[in-house]
């Protein structure tokens, strides 16, 4: 099944190798990790219109809060009518409680391609040039669980420990931000889930290749920072 990702993985491999070569004079052994960071930046810039749209939808929902409260008071004894009226209110203003999920879901294919790129020693029957690349001596194709099974060495302990610790910090910030930005009843319920859900990234990172864990870290930090910046007061640029 994952072999279906070989073609896009090969294309991304060429990009990562080119970025890694460019970064090597300054980054040395960390050049491939820097290349992964640059890929994250490129992906997130491509997804920026979706992020801007989600931020605009969030502000719209916040502006609709008084109208929602009036509807809840008016139809508090008729939950079916209340749901219908709330849906109509959101629809008339071009928003919904789930309007911000687009950018997150669109990232899944990118993550799967990167996972394939650093978990397969061969792609389309040819040797995977990135499979043996390292970060401070730790193969980017290794996972924390695999390192534990093989016997953790100091370099692996430092690299994986740092990545997992930073992921915990990003998860905490993301969880806190989700609670602060929740406005509607649905969003409050989602925010309760988000108190735990970001920490699932830490668990995933323990099982995937180090390069994929780095992608989760860089992308998660970008997402949290982006949501904080775009949720601040001020006009947003229009998207095409």
Rg of the chain's alpha carbons, rounded to an integer?
Answer: 21
Burial of residue 128 (CB within 10 Å: 0-12, 13-18, 19+) is buried
Task: Please tell me the pTM assigned to this model.
Answer: 0.75
pLDDT of residue 54: 72
d(CA 222, CA 111): 15
Retrieve residue 224's tokens: 């949290």
| Contact status, residue 188 vs residue 158, Cβ threshold 8 Å | no
Q: What is the pLDDT along the chain (240 residues), one digit of tens a residue?
A: 567 788 888 888 999 999 999 999 999 889 999 999 999 999 888 888 877 777 777 677 777 778 888 888 888 888 888 888 888 877 787 676 665 566 667 778 888 888 888 888 888 788 888 888 999 988 999 888 877 776 666 778 889 999 999 999 999 888 887 776 655 445 555 556 656 777 888 899 989 999 999 999 998 899 888 888 876 654 444 333
């Amino acid at each position: 099944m994952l072999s279906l990702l070989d073609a896009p993985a090969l294309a991304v491999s060429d990009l990562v190798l080119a970025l890694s070569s460019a970064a090597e004079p300054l980054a040395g052994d960390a050049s491939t990790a820097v290349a992964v960071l640059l890929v994250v930046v490129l992906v997130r810039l491509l997804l920026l219109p979706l992020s801007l749209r989600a931020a605009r939808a969030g502000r719209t929902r916040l502006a609709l809060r008084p109208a929602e409260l009036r509807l809840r008071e008016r139809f508090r004894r008729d939950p079916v009518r209340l749901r219908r009226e709330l849906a109509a209110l959101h629809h008339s203003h071009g928003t919904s409680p789930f309007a911000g999920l687009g950018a997150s879901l669109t990232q899944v294919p990118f993550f799967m391609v990167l996972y394939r790129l650093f978990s397969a020693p061969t792609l389309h029957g040819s040797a995977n040039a990135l499979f043996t690349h390292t970060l401070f001596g730790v193969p980017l194709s290794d996972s924390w669980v695999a390192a534990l099974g093989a016997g953790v060495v100091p370099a692996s302990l430092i690299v994986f420990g740092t990545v997992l610790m930073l992921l915990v910090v990003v998860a905490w910030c993301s969880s806190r931000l989700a609670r602060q930005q929740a406005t509607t009843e649905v969003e409050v319920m989602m925010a309760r889930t988000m108190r735990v859900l970001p920490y699932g990234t830490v668990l995933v990172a323990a099982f995937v290749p180090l390069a994929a864990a780095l992608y989760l870290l860089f992308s998660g930090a970008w997402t949290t920072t982006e949501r904080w910046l775009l949720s601040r007061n001020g006009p947003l640029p229009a998207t095409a």
